[in-house]
Amino acid sequence: MRYSQLGATFCLAVALPTAGGIWLDRKLGTVVLFTLLGLVLGFAAGVYNLYIEVFGKKKDGNHRSSPKDHRPDKTSRGSHG
């Protein structure tokens, strides 16, 4: 279910700015300027969103830690006098 949500989010991130670009091109009489701009910006936003979802931030705002950052906690070893 998570991957289908990511796919739908990516498609919307690309489709909505592209559709807006098509609309602007028709309204302003430009050939493909805003369509391409919307496509590029939408694609960049979609890739960024995918990156954040896969490798993104923790809920506290920090980036996910790498495996080498998982060191034993000194307080969990028990008390030794």
> 29-61 in b/e burial notation, b at 16+ Cβ within 10 A?
eeeeebbebbbebbeebbeebbeeeeeeeeeee
Average pLDDT, stretch 6-29? Answer: 95
Range in 2-11, 34-43, 72-81 the model is least confident about? 72-81
pLDDT band at 68 (very low <50, low <70, confident <90, very high): low
pLDDT digits (tens, 9 = 90+) for 19-66: 999 999 999 999 999 999 999 999 999 999 999 988 887 665 555 555
pTM of the model: 0.65
DSSP reduced 3-state for 29: coil
Provide the residue ranges of all domains of the chain, joining segments of one domain with +.
2-55
